[in-house]
A and B are shown apart, each in its own frame.
Chain A
Amino acid sequence: MADNVWILGIHMTNFGKHRDKDTLDLGSEAVLGALGDAGVGMPDIGVMAAGNLIGNPGYGQLLQKQIGQTGIPVFNVSNACATGATALRVAIMAIKAGETDMGLAVGVEKLSGAGLLTGSAAKKQGSTWEREGRFGAVKDLDGLVGTETMPGVFAQIGMEYGHRYGGADFELFAGIAEKNHAHSTLNPKAAYQKRFTLEQIMNDVMIAYPNTRSMCSANCDGAAAAVVVSEAKLRTLSPEQQRRAVKISASVLTSDPWQEACQVLPDINTLTRQAAQQAYEQAGVGPEDLDLVELHDCFATAELVHYDNLGLCEPGNAVDFFKSGATWRDGRLPVNVSGGLESKGHPVSATGIANIWEVATHLRGEAGDRQIEGARVGLAHVIGLGSACGVHILEKAA
């Protein structure tokens, strides 16, 4: 078993509109913040992994040109909404492989005003029908054969859970958004910090039933970065660095195993279940040991199914689990105390590191007004449709 890997420093920018900052400004702020938090500098870093989906494919090198060119390998990664978690996983793997003892991961996105993220823009139609693509389609299929919009895809995923187990209605899904928006009022870094009533959420603009606008993740700008270190190296650093370091007890990335229907409607369940199971085994902890969870609530309908997928409740029992109040910040297992993607915001490539920052900040006891008291173990989960699932379990330094 390879050496443990620890988070030495981590930082996220404020999420929201950053009109005067480009992706390099935001990425620099995140990396310099993480290096400062870690008490190290670019010369200490042996590997860098970077993610930026909507921008330059060589983002990592461009960022180096702003913050420090030291000749280290750069891995530019792309894994949809799991891009940040993938970058972190690459840095962790490099350390576990013994190639270096300190690595850097960064994810950044500028998404303010991006509007609805649809599957594909309509293509120009010729004067006569011609078959194209792997379905031999004569016309774009989005809207003709189901929907490719993200709110619509994730709406169906939530509705399917309701079909299987019952009880998942519009009001229940809206209640999940109510919780996350309420949580966001304590998070100064969240893009939106406004509480909404259940009625306001249900009467908001309908995007894809049952997801109204305030039940959808918020497009915004932001970046997050982490410095990770081998346990052997950590033991050579100062007592203060060791005290604030956060142990990565599990780092897992999965893709879709084949299931009936998985190529018809994305299956975000199976790969999350497998990632969670592997993570609990790696960490030697179970869901009952968790003090807080940040999970991928890209839509209110998605949060519900992940209660079940991550084993936070009994199988099929996510509706009752939510209704018990367990996932509110004063409940038995607080979920998305950051406000989640619905209010904190979802700058895609930053998300999979920002959720780690949130958990790590609670484990360090530095979460201010929204601190979950006595938090010792936390889990961060992210899904990139297609799919990629990242699960990390973090533990407070002993």
Chain B
Amino acid sequence: MPTISLVDYLSIDDDGTPRLIAHECTTCGARYFDRRNACASCFAQEFRPAEVARDGILRAFTIVHFAAEGVPVPFVAGLVDCHGTSVRGNLVNVPPDPEHVSVGMKVRLTTVPVGSDESGVDAVGYAFEPVDREDA
């Protein structure tokens, strides 16, 4: 089945392993996920691809119960510190309630289905999931 990643900065290996590839400033090391014109930190204009660590710590989260039309709720949105690079993403494979989600929890990158288009191409997105204790 042909697939396409949700965003440019998400790359998926043949075995399904997701990787986030940031634009890293070659001068100061600042990392960005969007298309760049220059570095907002040091103003240099050269970037190299840099893979972001695939695990991290949930630094902040919210459980969204009201969202724009068409966005399924509730869901957990969060900010993950992946060994020094902050990544925005949802937290999945966990009940969306404060008893099961807490700041400081260990999480890892995973993929989520986004849907398919008329030619049968599946779009694949990314999210984070809790790291089970026995795996840690």
Measured CB to CB, the residues of A under 8 A from B are 116, 118-122, 126-129, 131, 134-139, 141-149, 151-153, 155-157, 159-160, 162-163, 170, 205-211, 258, 260-261, 263-265
Contact = CB atoms under 8 A, between A and B. Distances in A.
B66 A208 contact: yes
A160 B123 contact: no
A207 B34 contact: no
Interface of B: 4-9, 30, 32-35, 40-41, 59-73, 75, 77-79, 84-90, 98, 103-104, 112, 114-115, 117-119, 121, 123, 125-126
Contacts of A145: 6-7, 88-90, 125-126
Contact of A143 (B62, B71, B126): B71
B123 A122 contact: no
**8 nearest A-B residue pairs (beta carbon):** A136-B8, A143-B71, A261-B86, A155-B62, A160-B60, A163-B103, A209-B63, A147-B77
A163 B6 contact: no
B132 to A, nearest CB: 21
A143 B70 CA distance: 9
Given A128-B119, A146-B88, A265-B60, 7 more contacts: A126-B117, A135-B35, A142-B71, A145-B125, A152-B77, A163-B103, A206-B65
B6 A149 contact: no
B34 A263 contact: yes
B63 A156 contact: no
B60 A159 contact: yes
Contact of B77 (A118, A156, A162, A261): A156
B6 A127 contact: no
Contacts of A170: 98
B60 A260 contact: no
B64 A127 contact: no
A306 B6 CA distance: 36
Contacts of A263: 32-34, 40
Nearest to A118: B68
Contacts of B85: 260
B78 A149 contact: no
Given A116-B66, A146-B78, A146-B89, A160 B30 contact: no
A162 to B, nearest CB: 6
A143 B89 contact: no
Contacts of B65: 205-209
B68 A265 contact: no
A260 B6 contact: no
A122 B86 contact: no
30 contacts: A118-B68, A122-B69, A122-B70, A128-B119, A129-B4, A129-B117, A131-B8, A134-B35, A135-B9, A136-B9, A138-B7, A139-B6, A139-B114, A144-B112, A145-B7, A146-B77, A149-B64, A149-B67, A151-B64, A152-B62, A152-B67, A155-B62, A159-B60, A160-B60, A160-B79, A209-B63, A260-B86, A261-B86, A264-B88, A265-B60
B7 A163 contact: no
Contacts of B73: 143
Contacts of B69: 121-122
A47 B70 CA distance: 45
A167 B38 CA distance: 39
B121 A206 contact: no
Contacts of B78: 146, 156
Contact of B6 (A137, A152, A156, A210): A137
B62 A163 contact: no
A248 B110 CA distance: 53
Given A122-B69, A145-B88, A147-B77, A138 B123 contact: yes
Contacts of A144: 6, 90, 112, 114, 125
B33 A265 contact: no
B79 A121 contact: no
Nearest to B114: A139
Given A121-B68, A143-B68, A143-B75, A264 B117 contact: no
A198 B66 CA distance: 22
Contact of A163 (B34, B70, B104): B104
Contact of A160 (B33, B34, B64, B103): B103
A209 B78 CA distance: 12
A206 B104 CA distance: 23
A297 B28 CA distance: 35
Given A122-B70, A264-B87, A206 B7 contact: no
Given A163-B104, A209-B62, A147 B4 contact: no
B63 A138 contact: no
Given A163-B104, A207-B65, A265-B79, A146 B6 contact: no
A144 B7 CA distance: 11
Contact of A159 (B6, B35, B70, B103): B103
Nearest to B91: A146
Nearest to B73: A143
Given A121-B68, A143-B67, A135 B103 contact: no
